[in-house]
Amino acid sequence: MPVKDFNGKQVQVDDEGYLVNQADWDEELAKAIAKEEGIEELTEAHWKVIHFMRKEYQEKGTAPSIRRLKNTGGIPVKELYNLFPGGPAKKAAKIAGLPKPQGCV
């Protein structure tokens, strides 16, 4: 498995850059991953999505899809794309330290 360095913290990632060990995740790591993904600052709206995704993953064992983020999380799809441009479910899952959501190419 590849290893990435985020602000001096080395973590194992899969071939697509998703964390292998969710125990490595913390909010500082999330900020570093976000910067790498082109998001300079995580706002309260970003954190709402990230924490919802982590809670869903803990309860259900999979990262939520965009549809679930919209329907259960109450976050409009347009807002998701504004917050996480270029693939909100994949990008938000990566920042949240979760595996790539099922159904994402």
Q: Report pLDDT digits (tens) over 12-61.
A: 999 999 999 989 999 999 999 999 999 999 999 999 999 999 999 999 99
Give the model's pLDDT for residue 35.
95
- pLDDT grade for 103, boundaries at 50, 70 and 90: low
The catalytic residue positions are 104
Q: Cα–Cα distance between 5 and 63 in angstroms, integer? A: 24
The chain-wide mean pLDDT, for the chain, equals 90
Long-range CB contact pairs, 22-27, < 8 A, 24+: 22/97, 22/98, 24/97, 25/96, 25/97
Q: Please give the helix or strand (H or E) that residue 59 lies within, else none.
A: helix 44-60
Domain ranges of the chain: 3-95
44-60 helix and 88-95 helix, angle to the nearest 10 degrees: 80
Residues linked to residue 6 through DSSP beta bridges, in sequence order: 9
pTM of the model: 0.91
